[in-house]
Amino acid sequence: MPTSIPVTVVILATMLMMIVAAGAMSLGLETWVAPTGRHLAFLGVAGLCVAFGHFGLLLAYWLGRTSTVAPFFYCFALWGVVSGLVIWGELPNALALTGIALIAGSGVAIVVLDQRRVRKEVALADAL
């Protein structure tokens, strides 16, 4: 187990997300307008929030068991659906629901497999 949180991973993941988001935004059909100071401040705060979020996620997986952390991580799909409904008044389409099911299913599989592994280790320890 590492002795510290890999800050480089947090920084690189945050930079990658910012580059991808900027590239996706540049594909829009609207005319580009230079951001104001207020917009740049919002972008800076958003970047800090993303960086701290990534750091928190790495810290959670570093300190906790996967079977404990995974359910909290995978609940983002629920918050995404709720946010989409409240903010934009939209429900997810079939493709989004399929993605949510795949992500949630993989989370459940991780928890189940981890619990099986722990039970097997306990049974082996008890047998000795």
- Contact, 17 vs 25, CB < 8 A? no
pLDDT tens per residue, range 100-120: 899 888 878 887 888 888 888
As a whole number, the mean pLDDT across the chain is 84
The Cα–Cα gap between 74 and 106 comes to 9
* Neighbour-count burial for 67-81, b at 16+ CB within 10 Å, e otherwise: bebbeeebeebeeeb
Half-sphere exposure of 66 (CA within 13 A, CB side): 13
Give the distance from CA 26 to its chain's centroid.
23
pLDDT tens per residue, range 61-71: 889 887 788 77
Domain ranges of the chain: 1-63, 65-128
